[in-house]
C-alpha cells in the first residue's frame, strides 16, 4: 500500500495515577455511578483553581524518554478554547508551544517484514474532557447524556509523523506503544477508553480526512481500511476527497462525516495564567536513571541470555506481564523449553479463551516444563494439562494422576514390549520376511498394554531392538 499515508494522534490516559491532572479527585471511577468523581475544579465552577499533579508530569517525561524524545527545558500549559458539553470550563487545559516532548521515534515491524522507525512529532499533556453518552448512533441520537467522571484525567497526546503505510502498520505501532506504556507502569490498557486514536489518512496526491475518537485497536484497523476503500472509490470515479473530520461508527463499521475542515476551529490558544511555567530539565536525569528495561532491550537480552530465537523473544517480551512470567519459569526450569511452551502453546490457549497471562500460575508452568524435561509426560499430555488447568483448575501433579497422563515407566514398557513380541509370532515372521510395517502391529499391542502412556516413537525403537535380537 505504498500510496497510503497515515499519521496518528493517540490520547493516552495516564490511568495509573491516583488523582486527576489538576485536582484531587480519584482516578478510580470506572465502576462508579456517573458524575460521582467530581469537584469544583474538574467541573470548572467559577473561582476554582487548578493545581498541577507533579506525578503526572513525571509520568509524561518518562513516556517522552521511552519514546526517544527530546525533553523541553521548560514547559507550560495553554488554554484551548472551545465550547462542547463535555468541557464545562469552555476551554481545555492543554499544551501548545513548548510541549513536554518532541522529535522521538519507536521501531515497528513494517509490512515488508523489515523493522523501521516511526517518527514521533510530539507528546504533550492535557486534561481529558468528560464523556458523552449518545442514545443510539452519533448522527441519529435523540438525546445525549454527559458524565464528568473522566473530566480532568491526565492525558498524554502522542502525535506521529505520517510515516505509516497501512492499517496493519498502524496496528503494529499501537501495539508497540501500548507495550512501552505498560512497561513504564503509567498505563492500564484494560480500562475502558484508556487509549483513543484519531487517524489522518490520505492517498498520495489527495486531500486527507481525519477519523476521530476510535477506541480499540481492531476499530482503528477497521476504520482505516474502510476509509482507504472509500477514498479509492472516490478517486476511481474522479471525485475529489473532501478534507473533513469523520467519525467511526463501530456498530455499522463505517465512517461518517461530522464536520468539514473549512469551518476549522480557531482555538485561540493562550497561556493558562493560573499555572506557572515548569522548569523540568532538572527532573530528567533522575527519571532517565529510573527507567525500566524496555521491550526492545528485553528482547535482545532474552536472545543472548537464554539462547532464544528472535521470534520467541519478541513474543515473550511484547507484554511486560508475559515477560515477567517467562523469567520466573526460566529461573527454575529449562529456559528454552519454557520459551516454546509459553510462546507457542500457553499464549495460544489463552488467546483462544480471550484471557491474559494472569489466568495461569507461573509455578504450574515450572512444574509442567520440569515434567516434560524429565520425560515424565508426553507433549500431548502437557497440552492436556494446560487446558485442564485453564478450564477447571487444579494442579499439574493432580491432573497427571487423575487423567493418567504420566508416561509409563521404562520397566513397564520393556515388559510390555517383551510380551507383545512373544505373542505376535506371525507379525515377527512377516517382519523377518521383509515387511517393515509388520512392526506397527506389535507397537499397537504395546500401546494397548500400556494404555497409551508410552511414547510411540520410543516403543517403536524398543520393539525393533527386541525383534532384531530374537
Give the interface segment with Zn ion, choosing from 35-43, 108-116, 295-303, 411-419 (CB under 5 A). Answer: 35-43
CA distance 432 to 273: 97
Cα 398 to its chain centre, rounded Å, is 33
Interaction of residue 154 with Zn ion, rule CB under 5 A? no
Q: Which helix (H) or strand (E) holds 325?
A: helix 320-330
| Closer residue to Zn ion, CB minimum distance, 39 or 256 | 39
CA distance 279 to 284: 10
Question: By CB under 5 A, how many residues form the interface with Zn ion?
Answer: 5
CB 283 to Zn ion: min, Å: 25
CA distance 207 to 260: 12
Q: Which three-class secondary structure string do you get for 263-310?
A: HCCCCCCEECCCCCCEECHHHHHHHHHCCCCCHHHHHHHHHHHHCCCH
Q: Are strands 244-249 and 209-215 parallel, antiparallel or unpaired?
A: parallel
CB 40 to Zn ion: min, Å: 7
| Closer residue to Zn ion, CB minimum distance, 36 or 103 | 36
| Closer residue to Zn ion, CB minimum distance, 41 or 194 | 41
Interaction of residue 125 with Zn ion, rule CB under 5 A? no
Binding residue (CB under 5 A) for Zn ion from 42, 69, 155, 382: 42
Cell of 62: 518518562
For residues 19 and 38, is the Cβ–Cβ distance under 8 A? no
CA distance 457 to 77: 70
Site string for Zn ion, 85-114 (x = CB under 5 A): ------------------------------
Give the interface segment with Zn ion, choosing from 15-23, 202-210, 324-332, 395-403 (CB under 5 A). Answer: 15-23
CB 148 to Zn ion: min, Å: 9
Q: Which residues pair with 406 in a beta bridge?
A: 377
Residues 186-245 that bind Zn ion (CB under 5 A): none
Q: Which residues pair with 244 in a beta bridge?
A: 260
Interaction of residue 25 with Zn ion, rule CB under 5 A? yes
Give the interface segment with Zn ion, choosing from 19-27, 204-212, 272-280, 460-468 (CB under 5 A). Answer: 19-27
Site string for Zn ion, 377-416 (x = CB under 5 A): ----------------------------------------
For residues 154 and 127, is the Cβ–Cβ distance under 8 A? yes
CB 151 to Zn ion: min, Å: 8
Interaction of residue 23 with Zn ion, rule CB under 5 A? yes
What torsion, rounded to 10 degrees, do the Cα atoms 262, 264, 268, 271 define?
A: -140
Binding residue (CB under 5 A) for Zn ion from 9, 34, 35, 39: 39
Please give the residue ranges that form the binding site for Zn ion (CB under 5 A). 23, 25, 39, 41-42
Amino acid at each position: 500500500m505504498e500510496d497510503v499515508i497515515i499519521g496518528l494522534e493517540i490520547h493516552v490516559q495516564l490511568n495509573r495515577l491516583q488523582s486527576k491532572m489538576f485536582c484531587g479527585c480519584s482516578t478510580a471511577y470506572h465502576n462508579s455511578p456517573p458524575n460521582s468523581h467530581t469537584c469544583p475544579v474538574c467541573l470548572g465552577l467559577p473561582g476554582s483553581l487548578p493545581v498541577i499533579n507533579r506525578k503526572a508530569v513525571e509520568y509524561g517525561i518518562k513516556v517522552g524518554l521511552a519514546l526517544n524524545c527530546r525533553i523541553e527545558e521548560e514547559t507550560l500549559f495553554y488554554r484551548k478554547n472551545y465550547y462542547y458539553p463535555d468541557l464545562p470550563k469552555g476551554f481545555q487545559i492543554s499544551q501548545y508551544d513548548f510541549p513536554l516532548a518532541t522529535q522521538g521515534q519507536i521501531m515497528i515491524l513494517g509490512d515488508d517484514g523489515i523493522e523501521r522507525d516511526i517518527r514521533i512529532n510530539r507528546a504533550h499533556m492535557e486534561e481529558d474532557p468528560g464523556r458523552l453518552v449518545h442514545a443510539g448512533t452519533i448522527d441519529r441520537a435523540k438525546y445525549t447524556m454527559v458524565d464528568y467522571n473522566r473530566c480532568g484525567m491526565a492525558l498524554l497526546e502522542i502525535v506521529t509523523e505520517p510515516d505509516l503505510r497501512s492499517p496493519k502498520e498502524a496496528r503494529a505501532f499501537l501495539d508497540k506503544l501500548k507495550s512501552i506504556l505498560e512497561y513504564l507502569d503509567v498505563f492500564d490498557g484494560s480500562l475502558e477508553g484508556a487509549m483513543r486514536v484519531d487517524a489522518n489518512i490520505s492517498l498520495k496526491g489527495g486531500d486527507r480526512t481525519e477519523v476521530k475518537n476510535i477506541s480499540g485497536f481492531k476499530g482503528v484497523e477497521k476504520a482505516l481500511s474502510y476509509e482507504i476503500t472509500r477514498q479509492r472509490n472516490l478517486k476511481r470515479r474522479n471525485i475529489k476527497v473532501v478534507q473533513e473530520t469523520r467519525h467511526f461508527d463501530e456498530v455499522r463499521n463505517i465512517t461518517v462525516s461530522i464536520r468539514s475542515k473549512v469551518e476549522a476551529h480557531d482555538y485561540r490558544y493562550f497561556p493558562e495564567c493560573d499555572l506557572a511555567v515548569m522548569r523540568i530539565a532538572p527532573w530528567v536525569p533522575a527519571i532517565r536513571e529510573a527507567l525500566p528495561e524496555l521491550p526492545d532491550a528485553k528482547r535482545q537480552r532474552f536472545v543472548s541470555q537464554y539462547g532464544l530465537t528472535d521470534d520467541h523473544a519478541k513474543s515473550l517480551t511484547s507484554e511486560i506481564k508475559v515477560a515477567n512470567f517467562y523469567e520466573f519459569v526460566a529461573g527454575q526450569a529449562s529456559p528454552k523449553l519454557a520459551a516454546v511452551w509459553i510462546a507457542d502453546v500457553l499464549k495460544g490457549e489463552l488467546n483462544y479463551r480471550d484471557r491474559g497471562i494472569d489466568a495461569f500460575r507461573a509455578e504450574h508452568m515450572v512444574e509442567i516444563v520440569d515434567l516434560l524435561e524429565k520425560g515424565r509426560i508426553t507433549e500431548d499430555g502437557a497440552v492436556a494439562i494446560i487446558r485442564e488447568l485453564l478450564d477447571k483448575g487444579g494442579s499439574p501433579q493432580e491432573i497427571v494422576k487423575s487423567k493418567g497422563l504420566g508416561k509409563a515407566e521404562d520397566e513397564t514398557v520393556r515388559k510390555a514390549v517383551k510380551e507383545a513380541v512373544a505373542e505376535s509370532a506371525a507379525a515377527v515372521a512377516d517382519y523377518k520376511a521383509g515387511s517393515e510395517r509388520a512392526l506397527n502391529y506389535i507397537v499397537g499391542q504395546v500401546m494397548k498394554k500400556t494404555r497409551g502412556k508410552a511414547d510411540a516413537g520410543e516403543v517403536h525403537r524398543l520393539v525393533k531392538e527386541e525383534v532384531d535380537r530374537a
